[in-house]
Amino acid sequence: MLFLILIVLVNSAIGIVTGGNSLIVVPAMFQLGIEPRVAVATNMAGLVFMASGGTIPFLRAGRIDVRRLSPILSEVP
């Protein structure tokens, strides 16, 4: 588990620059014996939080026109 935490921390630093977080973490989870569906689901959950965290400062600064997003959001089932 400590090895996986180290991989995730290093990958976070690389992923900030390259945007390729899943390219390292998911195969590392596979190598550590984590089930593929659990590894992918865990990675996807992390990406949701990462994207949300990146969006919040833009919303607070008023750089996102929420009115233009409303048609997009209304299409989500």
12 or 77: whose pLDDT is higher?
Answer: 12
Report d(CA 14, CA 18) in Å as an integer.
6
Report d(CA 12, CA 21) in Å as an integer.
7
Look at phi and psi of residue 19 and say left if phi exceeds 0, alpha if psi is from -120 to 50, else beta.
Answer: left
Classify residue 1 by its DSSP letter.
Answer: -
Q: How many separate domains does the chain show? A: 1
**Lookup: tokens for 67:** 């009115």
65 or 20: whose pLDDT is higher?
Answer: 65
Mean pLDDT throughout 63-68?
A: 85
Q: Tokens 């089930």 belong to which residue?
A: 35
Asked whether residue 76 carries a pLDDT value surpassing 60, the answer given is no
Domain range for 31 is: 2-74
pTM: 0.65
Report d(CA 24, CA 38) in Å as an integer.
15
Q: Quote the pLDDT of residue 54.
A: 84
pLDDT digits (tens, 9 = 90+) for 7-64: 888 887 877 777 777 888 899 899 999 999 999 999 898 888 888 888 899 989 999 8
